[in-house]
Structure 1
Amino acid sequence: MVAEQNVLTVNIVTPDGLVYDHHASLVVVKTTTGDMGIMANHEPVVAPLVIGEVRVRRVDSPGHENMIAVNGGFMEMSNNVCSIVADSAERARDIDLTRAEAARKRAERRIEDAKSHRDQDELQRAQVALQRAINRIHVRKSGLGG
């Protein structure tokens, strides 16, 4: 079938199980070296991911992208299957915006406390927590249909 040649399967897995599994024409991930777009028949590749959104253009919903907040991990593309293994991942529709905003505020307070106490380890942890919260907020606001 000609149409099947332009389709890839995208699945996202966390330690809690499968978060996402759909057929797509395009997936865009944020790697340690920048954004990477993957389409069907892409050469095999493995790439480390950073905190950011994964955008998936599904074949069953042209013109619409699902957005998933991912907190690091890695992506492997092989045989028209794009597998993402992440510490955590949430679809835009599943993100509680109130909780994400509260997490952002907590992280900002932790950053200020760590700076005042000159605690570099806590500062780094708080900065990562802030990145995760901002990513979740961005994904929720950008991908409400996700």
Structure 2
Amino acid sequence: MAESTFMLEVVTPERILYRDEIQFMVAPGIEGELGIMKNHAPLVAALNIGVLRYQTSTGAAKRMAISGGFMEVIDNGARVLAETAEHGDEIDVLRAKAAKERAEKRLEVKSEEINHARAKMSLQRAIARIRATEKPI
């Protein structure tokens, strides 16, 4: 293990999506973004729908869309338990943009038949998926 790295594990109900050493990460916490580096104090936090950003042990910047969950940081390791998660480079951008447009159209309709809370969550997930495909600055 390199001197300045720690283990990141991203787990969904279906699989372990990612497990490797990283240099740092930024997670979408409920109260705002959470930056984590090696030797971070123990932490348990709820996560929002958003983009998990991290830098691999080789220095490559990566992104992953997650749709909520929890994160635990302890003993130089971070474990993200996400409802869903996708690597940014595996996301179908056209499909994500179509989902965003569908959610926006549902939110425009003023009808009691439309579940607006569900439509808002669909919109947030679509936006996170699109943002996860963007190239890091």
Does 1:89 find its partner at 2:85?
Answer: yes
Q: Which runs of 5+ in 1 are unaligned?
A: none
Write out per-residue CA displacement over residues 73-106 of structure 1, whole angstroms, 9 at most, x where no aligned residue.
0110011110000000000111000110111111
Superposed displacement of residue 51, structure 1: 0.7
Superposed displacement of residue 36, structure 1: 1.0
Superposed displacement of residue 4, structure 1: 3.5
Structure 1 distance, partners of 2:116, 2:100, is: 14
Amino acid at match of 2:15: G
Equivalent position SS for 2:41: coil
Superposed displacement of residue 41, structure 1: 1.1
Q: Percent identity?
A: 35
* 8 Å CA contact 1:6, 1:41 repeated in 2: no
Which aligned segments of 4 or more residues in structure 1 are displaced greater than 4 angstroms?
none
**Aligned match of 2:123 in 124, 130, 133?**
130
Q: Computing the radius of gyration over CA atoms, which structure comes out larger, 1 or 2?
A: 1
Identify which range, 93-102 or 3-12, moves more after superposition: 3-12
* 8 Å CA contact 1:10, 1:24 repeated in 2: yes
Alignment of 1:34-49 (within 5 A): 34-49=32-47
Superposed displacement of residue 26, structure 1: 0.4
Structure 2 distance, partners of 1:17, 1:127, is: 26
Does 1:26 find its partner at 2:19?
Answer: no
Structure 2 distance, partners of 1:112, 1:142, is: 30
Does 1:106 find its partner at 2:99?
Answer: no
Amino acid at match of 2:25: V
Tell me how many residue pairs correspond in the alignment.
136
Structure 2 distance, partners of 1:130, 1:142, is: 21
Write out per-residue CA displacement over residues 107-127 of structure 1, whole angstroms, 9 at most, x where no aligned residue.
1121122xx2145x7011101
CA RMSD of aligned residues (A): 1.5
Structure with greater helix percent: 1
**Aligned match of 1:16 in 14, 24, 46?**
14
**Aligned match of 2:132 in 121, 134, 139?**
139
Match of 1:67 in 2: 63
Structure 2 distance, partners of 1:103, 1:22, is: 31
Superposed displacement of residue 22, structure 1: 1.6
